[in-house]
Amino acid sequence: MKKISLRSVAVITGISVALLNSCTGKNQPSGNETVIKVEIDTIQESDEVSKVEYVGIIEEKSSVALGFPVLGTIERIYVSEGEFIRRNQLLATLDKASAKSMFEAAEATRKQAQDAYDRLKSIYDKGSLPEIQMIDIETKLHQANSSFELAERNLKNCDLYAPSEGVVGQKMAEAGEYVIPGKTVLTILDISTVKAKFSVPENEISEITSGCNAEITVSALGNKKFTGKKIEKNVVANPISHTYPAHVILSNPGKELLPGMVCNVELGMSKISKGIIVPISIVQTTADNRKFVWTEKEGTAKRTYVTTGAVRGNGVEIISGLTAGDRIVREGFQKISEDDKIAGK
């Protein structure tokens, strides 16, 4: 019988184990580990002007409510809503029958008082009329003049004229309607310049200054664009929405911008010099309120903590934690964990 030494068995066993390991893949890099596909962007420093957009509405520069300062029945309204009017244009009239009658009576009374005064004044100057009678006739003449001036003013006030050029906003009364002083008959809108009014969230209001560039796009005018002259903002927030009212002033020489038109307001914010802006949607927050983004380093997902700055539209400024050249996971970060293998799509 042939003998096999223990040393020979050990060598054979070692070779067998080595071959087995080779076949099963042990001691090799894990080539079948799952690689998660995500979208990756490389960070670049930005020196461009940050822009934000808001939905706004066109409003008139100012509005004035017009009415008659006297009682009466409206005889006629000469203008329609939306009609452009000029300064001193006749807009409406009251029935003048009563006012005209009172004016004619006051005019006759004044003439009589003036004639009486002229006749008695010559007598008084000759010393043939007591002073008390002269004082009485002077008083009657003064009263007659005052009544005449009031009747004349009331007759003139039966006509309603435009104080300035503009466009008729609303008709608040109709012909045949009895009106009292203070009752609004028409509203007149000044649209020589207009305002594009919008609301700004409280976390963005500090970024808006009068020096921001503003471009207004109006869909009702075929997406025509207008450049803003000046930006003004309110310092009192809406207590419910926590937004601040703001508006852009626009020249309107062609009177094509009308109150009520919806517009898109695009503001060019302050210039960011050598700054990093990332989509605000990729910034995550931990339970202890630390902010982070997912980055890719050598094919591995890494949680990178950051310090954020101002919100700029759909982006947020990164103050620290990221540098130019870092690769951030823009989409698909919801399905990854620390040290997962990842690759761009």
Mean pLDDT within 233-241: 92
The predicted pLDDT at position 206 comes to 84
Q: How is 116-132 classified by DSSP, letter by letter? A: HHHHHHHHHHTT-S-HH
The predicted pLDDT at position 313 comes to 65
| Exposure string for 226-260, b = 16+ CB within 10 A, e = fewer | bebeebebeeebeeeeebbebbbbbebeeeebbbe
Average pLDDT of the chain, as a whole number: 86
Mean pLDDT within 178-207: 93
Mean pLDDT within 184-189: 97
177 phi, psi to nearest 5 deg: -85, 140
Mean pLDDT within 213-217: 93
Task: Give yes or no for residue 10 having a pLDDT over 70.
Answer: no
The predicted pLDDT at position 205 comes to 87
Are the CB atoms for 38 and 328 separated by under 8 Å? no
3-class state of residue 269 by DSSP: strand
Task: Give yes or no for residue 9 having a pLDDT over 80.
Answer: no
Name the token pair of 63. Answer: 């509005």
Mean pLDDT within 90-104: 97
**The residue to which tokens 């039966």 are assigned:** 158
- 276, with CB counted inside 10 A (0-12, 13-18, 19+), is buried
Name the token pair of 123. Answer: 């007598």
pTM: 0.59
Mean pLDDT within 312-323: 84
Rounded-to-integer distance, Cα 281 and Cα 296, Å: 17
**Which residue segments constitute the domains of the chain, with CATH numbers given?**
35-47+274-344 (2.40.420.20), 52-61+190-271 (2.40.30.170), 96-157 (1.10.287.470)
* Of 92-101, 123-132, 171-180, minimum mean pLDDT range: 123-132
231 vs 21: which has the higher pLDDT: 231
Residue 195 identity: K
The predicted pLDDT at position 1 comes to 37
Mean pLDDT within 164-173: 94
Rounded-to-integer distance, Cα 91 and Cα 158, Å: 11
154 vs 272: which has the higher pLDDT: 154
Task: Give yes or no for residue 345 having a pLDDT over 90.
Answer: no
Task: Give yes or no for residue 84 having a pLDDT over 80.
Answer: yes
181 phi, psi to nearest 5 deg: -55, 135
DSSP3 helix / strand / coil % (the chain, rounded to 5):
25, 40, 35
Which residues on neighbouring strands pair with residue 263, listed in sequence order?
A: 56, 218
